[in-house]
């Protein structure tokens, strides 16, 4: 299997996979991903304001945000989103402005609409991670942050071999396990966006909290360029 075939993950596969997961997602993954959700929310609330959660899924994280934040959630899976709508109604979450079925790589929002963009366990489950990140940066206000919780693939060794072996099965489940850190580094090598933090998650150290900021001033733009190796 060549690299192009290995990386392939199409939208239809993802939609079908998460439609199957919807009825049992909270039971299967809720406890596993709870710690990551709480860490991502804490990072997002450092800035607060209007927060977009991409890949909101069943809305498990929505009740944990402070009510002072205004929330918008989007997901590619309509069955998952129906669960989120039920959760919003159950908890009376009047700070949730909207929930919508939407492709993460084609967000239907104007430029600079949000103070924070949160994506938990999303970047490895989209067909085009770089285009998706571009959309996050587009809808983010200057001074805002992109907050990711993401699996980072092993660079070498037995774990890397396992991820490569498991990859065809993982794609049928709707995600790619062999996602290297270098892809995020290459994406961030662009004007106006810079890495703030990469923090391995407790227990599941193959997952990391990753924060990118969008420069708000000329000095920050210049600093971002230097960090990306673009300054002259």
* Domain regions of the chain by residue span: 3-227
CATH code for the part of the protein at 3-227 = 3.40.50.150
230 sits in the region (left: phi over 0; alpha: psi -120 to 50; else beta) called alpha
62 contacts 56 by C-beta, under 8 angstroms: yes
64 contacts 43 by C-beta, under 8 angstroms: no
Closest CA to 3 of 124, 122, 178: 178
Task: Tell me how many degrees the CA angle 19-167-156 measures, rounded to the nearest 5.
Answer: 140
pLDDT number for residue 61: 93
Query: Which run of H or E residues covers position 13?
Result: helix 11-21
pLDDT number for residue 23: 56
pLDDT number for residue 125: 82
Report if pTM > 0.85.
no
pLDDT number for residue 84: 94
pLDDT number for residue 225: 56
pLDDT number for residue 114: 98
- For residue 114, give every residue at least 6 positions away whose Cβ sits within 8 Å of its Cβ, in sequence order, or none: 49, 50, 51, 52, 72, 139, 140, 141, 144
- The H-assigned helical ranges of 45-112 are 78-91
pLDDT number for residue 205: 58
Which residues partner with 188 through β-bridges? none
Give the whole-angstrom CA distance, residue 47 versus residue 143.
9
pLDDT number for residue 232: 36
Q: Which two tokens stand for residue 20?
A: 């199957």
CA dist 118 to 39, 127, 158, Å?
11, 18, 31
pLDDT number for residue 4: 39
pLDDT number for residue 37: 87
pLDDT per residue rounded down to tens, the chain (232 residues): 334 344 455 566 666 655 555 555 554 455 556 788 899 999 999 999 999 999 999 999 999 999 999 999 999 989 889 999 999 999 999 999 999 999 999 999 999 999 999 999 888 888 899 999 999 999 999 999 999 998 775 565 565 554 554 455 555 555 555 678 888 999 998 778 999 999 987 655 578 899 999 988 656 666 655 555 544 3
């Amino acid at each position: 299997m060549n690299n192009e075939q290995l990386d392939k993950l199409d939208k239809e596969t993802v939609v079908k996979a998460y439609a199957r997961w919807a009825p049992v997602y909270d039971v299967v993954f809720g406890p596993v991903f709870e710690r990551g959700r709480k860490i991502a929310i804490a990072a997002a609330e450092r800035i607060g304001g209007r927060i977009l959660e991409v890949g909101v899924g069943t809305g498990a994280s929505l009740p944990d945000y402070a009510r002072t934040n205004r929330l918008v959630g989007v997901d590619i899976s309509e069955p998952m989103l129906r669960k989120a709508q039920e959760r919003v109604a159950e908890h009376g979450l009047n700070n949730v402005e909207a929930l919508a079925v939407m492709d993460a790589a084609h967000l239907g929002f104007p430029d600079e609409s949000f103070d924070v963009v949160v994506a938990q366990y999303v970047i490895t489950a989209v067909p085009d991670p770089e285009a998706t990140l571009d959309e996050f940066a587009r809808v983010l206000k200057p001074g805002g942050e992109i907050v990711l919780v993401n699996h980072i693939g092993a660079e070498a060794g037995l774990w890397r071999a396992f991820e490569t072996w498991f990859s065809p099965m993982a794609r049928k489940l709707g995600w790619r396990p062999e996602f290297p850190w270098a892809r995020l580094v290459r994406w961030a090598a662009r004007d106006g966006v810079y890495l703030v933090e990469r923090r391995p998650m407790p227990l599941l150290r193959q997952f990391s909290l990753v924060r990118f900021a969008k420069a708000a001033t000329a000095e920050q733009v210049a600093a971002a360029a230097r960090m990306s190796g673009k300054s002259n």
